């Protein structure tokens, strides 16, 4: 989707950063679209392990192609004891930004039809 105004780009970036802040312990220093965007900074959680992340996978085209999305520094509250990550709450809110008919695309320009599962990267 093409966004034509700077104000809308900033609104979309703020939505993405808020969803990322809710699901990740890592901090944000600056966001980039194709130029610098004014965005609120948020600090990382003390003691956060910057190597810990999660990967969510889903169907891109009606069960014919899979794609994945990394969630950097996922918050421990979102991780189950078996290392799985429930696609609910803040995780679902973040991932929904990359679903069909929303603003953001995966790295190759695609969007997810349905999320299948998510788990802690080991």
Enumerate the domain spans of the chain. Answer: 6-120
pLDDT of residue 34: 64
Q: Which of 3, 60, 16, 67 is nearest to 42 (CA)?
A: 16
> What are the tens digits of pLDDT across the range 13-50?
899 999 999 999 888 887 777 655 567 787 777 666 55
pTM: 0.68
> What are the tens digits of pLDDT across the range 79-112?
999 999 999 999 999 999 998 777 788 888 888 9
Task: Please name the residue that has the structure tokens 């695309």.
Answer: 105
Rounded Cα gap, residues 95 and 56, in angstroms: 8
* Token pair listed for 105: 């695309």
Rounded Cα gap, residues 101 and 76, in angstroms: 30
């Amino acid at each position: 989707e093409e966004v034509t105004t700077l104000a809308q780009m900033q609104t979309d970036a703020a939505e993405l950063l808020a969803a990322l802040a809710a699901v990740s312990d890592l901090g944000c220093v600056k966001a980039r679209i194709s130029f610098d965007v004014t965005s609120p900074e948020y600090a990382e959680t003390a003691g956060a392990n910057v190597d810990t992340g999660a990967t969510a996978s889903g169907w891109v085209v009606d069960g014919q192609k899979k794609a994945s999305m990394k969630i950097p520094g996922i918050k421990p509250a979102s991780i189950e004891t078996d290392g799985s990550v429930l696609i609910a709450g803040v995780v679902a809110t973040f991932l929904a930004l990359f679903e069909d008919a929303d603003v953001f695309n995966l790295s190759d320009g695609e969007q997810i039809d349905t999320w299948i599962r998510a788990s802690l990267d080991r």
